[in-house]
Amino acid sequence: MNEKSGTDMKIPKSILIDPEGNKAYAAFAVAVSVFAFAYSTNFGKILILAYYLVWLPLLFVDYRRFTRDLSSTWLPLVFVAYICLSVFWSQAAGTSARAGLQYFSHILCAYVAARTISVRTLVLGSLIGIFVVLLYSLKVGGYALDTIDGTTNFVGAFGSKNQVGFFASLGIFFCLAFLVFYRRNWMSFVWTTPIMLLSVYMLAIAHSATSVASLPAVIGIVALLTMSKILSRAYRRVMFVVGAVALVTGVVAALNLGLLDFVLGIFGKDSTLTGRTYLWEQGWLAAQQHPVLGYGYAAYWIQGFADPERLWAEFYISTRTGFHFHNTYIETLVELGFIGMIILALIILRSFWGHVSKVVFGDWSADSVVLAGAVGLMLIRSFFEVEILGPYFTASFIVYYGLFKLRPVPVVRARRAYVPVQDEKAAGGRMPARV
């Protein structure tokens, strides 16, 4: 019996890095990532290691795919470089150095994902991961007192109702996106129904005002971008201008006519967002101490420092960890100063606006509509949560994935093999062949 050669035993690269051929592996990798983002604090470093193992080895499968056309990476690289440089002025240099390396590796994983998986596969893998995440939280069945608004809410296996609400709202959005843009047969309705029902139920029992309020806004944005498909580019631009004016007018009316207080009252909150505005004020005061460069990346909430200890005590955070200012831009202002805040804001806006502009001013595509909605959800949440500034968050992964997806995956051209001139007659006068 002839033994198989080593060549026959090789795994085709396409099942790992080709967006058209790696659907099974890519969906698995995304599902693992989502579960790791949700529960790495519960299960420890093993989940973070699994997250790295599904993405970073792909760099060595075909390095040319990741080293060609790096124009979409300059802004994240500037931000990461600035984060790492904050070690030199950080009040907790060791913490900043470790967190900076983690954030860099997190962005690198998002870059690998953007170069190897399609948006459809991202949505599919996310739905699988979200379903498992929500099922596990439902099994744990934890409830906790929210020290901000004084209510008892479902937190599952998380420490926050807002995280339950986030994964539930993302599950609803991705279910709708998959059914509208990516379904291929009636079976799509069958397997997405349990995910949709579970997500709606978990969103309802979590009582997360941020998640409930942000979801309709994002669905509205996606609906407008979807309807623009039937319009010419000129009419899309008109619709965009009219929509932007209507949005600004609606926000101003809500503030002046008391509609904002009415909406907040539905969720049991007041105009101070039940404590959040106090945190924002405290964050602004803290930022004034180091307005340009900040305290250093991840270097404010450190045990033993007076101001964090005071805030932990005021909000009954007995663990003295895991707290923030409930606003991405204020948190960034405190840690990285105005320079860091501006860079991060540019990253978020570039990722969101890049896909909106591709739909409105360029060639309409379902992928850009879906990514505009997903990044838009993170943009809205960024005013009330801190999920993009840190590593190992689904929000930051999606924002950077969307940013890197603004550039198409570069195609590595095959090299030409020429028939030697002296052998042209023997070759039958054929043209040079491609290999």
Coil vs helix vs strand at 383: coil
Query: pLDDT for 407-430, tens place per residue?
Result: 876 665 544 434 444 444 444 444
State the DSSP code for 143.
E
End-to-end CA distance of the chain: 32
Computed over every residue of the chain, the mean pLDDT equals: 86
Alpha helices in 181-302 (DSSP H): 187-206, 209-227, 233-256, 259-266, 276-287
- How much of the chain, in percent, has pLDDT values that exceed 70? 84
Confidence of residue 233 (pLDDT cuts 50, 70, 90): confident
pTM: predicted TM-score of the whole model, two decimal places? 0.89
Q: Residue 144 is inside which H or E element, if any? A: strand 143-145
Chain position carrying tokens 């309409």: 364
The pLDDT value recorded for residue 415 is 43
Q: Is the pLDDT of residue 241 over 50?
A: yes
Task: Tell me the two tokens of residue 103.
Answer: 């954030």
Q: Which residue has the higher pLDDT, 236 or 199?
A: 199
The two three-digit tokens of residue 324, written as one number: 């923030």
Q: Of 85-94, 312-321, 356-365, which one has max mean pLDDT? A: 85-94
